[in-house]
């Protein structure tokens, strides 16, 4: 069943067009990963899907009544805000204690129930955010670079958890990731984004696509290639000044 | 009972503390301290215009404070960093307000009363306006409490939960305007921001939940108001600044105690 269908989507911030003519569909139960350099419009795509950004053109159609679980890149979490994990979990809806504990258990952090959010480590924090996204039994999980700030073993463990969640609950997953290892292992489908969809398909197909190699360099093994890419790609295209300025704004 | 000016002053001070507590917590959590200050400073322009047009000072200050808050929100993210822009807006409006007041030669104006408050001169009507405004702020924030907290934590999360963060932020902007307008008489435009920030910041180390922080901030604000008035009476010092001094003492003492407890833990 189609959960999300994006047609001919363009997103602009003032004169900057960050996304052009994006088509994307997500079926229930699949894991789709979006990769792309900084400023390629990954976050804007996610924002357009949840309705935080209005499309300049095209449309975003969600299945009526679609239940979304959103895991933000980070919270603007100020340590002056005293709040326990349990309270945070129950903010987003009138949920019972039982479903709160169940979501924390699914995310592997039930023991943190009574902790203050400000006292959590980076990995614990991301798992609590994941639990918060799971609490209303979502049909699709949206993850915006959810492992930012985690080390390699930490993010690997986090993504194993995501796969486990998909197995247990059958929800679809759309995630944005910098981490190319993750793309290759966890996703059913990969979308390579750079203002437009460069290439898309199974991880194997994308990894061997020339557009992908151009974007991420020939050695597609790791994150290093991604960062090296950032410099040469910007100079390749004249229309990339837009991407530059949106990058600076991030 | 209301015949006694000290009683009226205490009631006015406690009213401001009640309005400032929930809003002050959001100002601290959302790092809006400078935004609050800009809105408060702009209110002197409202006072000047009210005197010039011979309308209610409360109304004039409310309109200008709300306009300033709206303007600052509209301008945010357009070129200048927020703190630079607020610095320009806050002090320009303060300066323009003071210049406008100087043109009002016909009226004798005690400018100090509007800059630092004139709590000892509050009338019964003032108390009614202050408490009306305070209860309005408390009701607004209580009504949108969870959505406001979610918006404060992450705006995308709010969108994904089906909320509109802009509407929630509007609630805070309106509350801020109302609080500034009712607090002018009590602490003056220059000391409104500290009344928002200091009790909330002082309450942080004692609170484990957001609600507790609001309640503790309200108590600290109210005690500061009463104790500050008492101190002003005993030492013959200006009332508004004395209230802020007591709140500051709370902040410093509680911070020091929290630091020691952390070290020994």
Nearest CA in chain A to B152: A76
Quickly state the pLDDT bin for B1 (edges 50, 70, 90).
low
- pLDDT tens sequence across B114-153: 888 888 888 999 999 999 999 999 999 999 999 999 999 8
- Asked if B156 and A52 come within 8 Å (Cβ–Cβ), the reply is yes
Domain range holding A196?
A: 2-67+138-249
- Put simply, the answer to whether A82 touches B210 (Cβ < 8 Å) is yes
Does A243 reside within a domain? Answer: yes
Indicate if the pLDDT at residue A183 is higher than 60: yes
Residue A85, in any domain of the structure: no
Contact B157 A72 (CB under 8 A): yes
Mean pLDDT value across residues B15-42 = 91
8 Å CB contact between B160 and A82:
no
The more confidently predicted of residues B112 and A171 is A171
Lowest mean pLDDT among A58-72, A168-182, B50-64: A168-182
B29: chain A residues, CB-CB within 8 Å: 78, 80-81
Which residues in chain A are closer than 8 Å to B213, comparing Cβ atoms? 81-82
- Does residue A174 carry a pLDDT above 70? yes
> Is residue A190 within 8 Å of residue A33, measured between CB atoms?
yes
Instruction: Please say whether the beta carbons of A96 and B175 come within 8 A.
Output: no
Summarize pLDDT for B96-109 with one digit per residue, the tens. 988 888 887 666 66
Does A36 lie at the interface with B, CB-CB under 8 angstroms? no
CATH of the domain at A48: 3.40.50.300
- Could you give the percent of chain A with pLDDT greater than 90? 14
User: How is A183-219 classified by DSSP, letter by letter?
Assistant: HHHH-SEEEEESSSEEEEESHHHHHT-HHHHHHH-S-
Closest CA to B98 of B35, B46, B37: B46
A10 assigned to some structural domain: yes
The pLDDT of residue A215: 77
What's the structural domain count of chain A? 1
Domains of chain B: 5-259 (1.10.3470.10)
Q: What is the ipTM of this complex?
A: 0.76
**Structural domain includes residue A88:** no
- The candidate with the shortest Cα–Cα distance to B21, out of B219, B229, B225, B249, is B219
Q: How far is CA A194 from the centre of its chain?
A: 15
Interface subset of A 175-234, CB within 8 angstroms of B? none
Per-residue pLDDT tens over the stretch A216-246: 765 544 443 333 333 334 333 333 333 333 3
d(CA B66, CA B181): 10
Say yes or no to pLDDT of A71 above 90.
Answer: no
Contact between B159 and A92 using a beta-carbon 8 Å cutoff: no
Q: Bin B140: left if φ > 0, else alpha if -120 < ψ < 50, else beta.
A: alpha
Q: Which of chain A's residues have a Cβ under 8 Å away from the Cβ of B146?
A: 91
Determine the distance in angstroms separating the CA of B14 from the nearest CA of chain A, rounded to an integer.
Answer: 24
Structure tokens at B193: 């921001």
The predicted model gives A178-189 an average pLDDT of 72
Give the residue-averaged pLDDT of A136-148.
Answer: 86
Whole-number pLDDT of residue B18: 95
Report the alpha-carbon distance of residue B18 to residue A87 in Å, rounded.
24
User: Average model confidence (pLDDT) for chain B?
Assistant: 89
> Which residues does chain B have within 8 Å of residue A92's beta carbon, measured at their own beta carbons?
150, 157, 161
The answer to whether residue A83 is domain-embedded is no
């Amino acid at each position: 069943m189609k959960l999300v269908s994006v047609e001919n989507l363009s997103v602009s911030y003032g004169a900057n067009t960050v996304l052009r003519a994006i088509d994307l569909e997500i079926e229930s139960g699949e894991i789709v990963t979006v990769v792309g350099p900084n400023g390629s419009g990954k976050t804007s795509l996610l924002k357009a899907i949840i309705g935080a950004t209005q499309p300049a053109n095209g449309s975003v159609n969600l299945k009526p009544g679609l239940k979304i679980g959103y895991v933000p890149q980070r919270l603007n979490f100020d340590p002056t805000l005293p709040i326990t994990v349990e309270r945070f979990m129950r903010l987003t809806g009138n949920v019972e204690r039982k479903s709160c504990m169940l979501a924390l258990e699914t995310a592997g952090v039930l023991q943190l129930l009574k902790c203050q959010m400000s006292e959590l480590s980076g990995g614990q924090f991301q798992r609590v955010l994941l639990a918060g996204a799971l609490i209303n039994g979502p049909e699709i999980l949206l993850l915006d670079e959810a492992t930012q700030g985690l080390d390699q073993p930490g993010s690997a463990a986090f993504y194993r958890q995501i796969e486990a969640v998909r197995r247990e609950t059958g929800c679809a997953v759309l995630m944005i990731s910098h981490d190319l290892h993750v793309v290759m292992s966890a996703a059913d489908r990969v979308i390579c984004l750079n203002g437009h969809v460069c290439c898309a398909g199974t991880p194997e197909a994308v990894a061997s696509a020339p557009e992908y190699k151009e974007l991420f360099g020939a050695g597609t093994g790791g994150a290093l290639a991604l960062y090296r890419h950032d410099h040469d790609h910007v100079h390749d295209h004249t229309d990339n000044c837009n991407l530059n300025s949106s990058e600076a704004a991030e | 009972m209301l015949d006694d000016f000290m009683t009226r002053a205490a009631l006015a001070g406690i009213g401001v503390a009640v309005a400032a507590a929930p809003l002050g917590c959001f100002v601290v959590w959302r790092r809006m301290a400078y935004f609050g200050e800009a809105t408060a400073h702009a209110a002197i322009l409202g006072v000047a215009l009210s005197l010039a047009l011979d309308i209610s000072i409360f109304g004039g200050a409310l309109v200008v404070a709300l306009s300033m808050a709206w303007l600052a929100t509209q301008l945010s993210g357009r070129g200048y960093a927020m703190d630079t822009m607020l610095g320009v807006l806050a002090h320009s409006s303060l300066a323009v307000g003071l210049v406008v007041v100087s043109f009002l030669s016909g009226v004798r104006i005690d400018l100090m009363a509007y800059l630092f408050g004139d709590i000892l001169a509050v009338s019964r009507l003032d108390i009614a306006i202050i408490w009306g405004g305070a209860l309005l702020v408390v009701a607004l924030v209580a009504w949108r409490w969870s959505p406001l907290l979610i918006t404060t934590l992450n705006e995308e999360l709010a969108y994904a939960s089906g909320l509109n963060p802009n509407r929630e932020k509007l609630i805070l902007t309106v509350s801020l305007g109302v609080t500034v307008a009712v607090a002018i008489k009590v602490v003056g435009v220059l000391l409104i921001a500290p009344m928002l920030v200091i009790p909330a910041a002082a309450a942080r180390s004692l609170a484990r939940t957001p609600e507790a922080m609001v309640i503790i901030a309200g108590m600290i604000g109210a005690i500061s108001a009463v104790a500050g008035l008492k101190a002003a009476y005993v030492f013959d010092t200006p009332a508004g600044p004395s209230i802020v001094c007591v709140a500051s003492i709370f902040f410093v003492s509680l911070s020091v105690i929290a630091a020691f407890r952390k070290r020994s833990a």
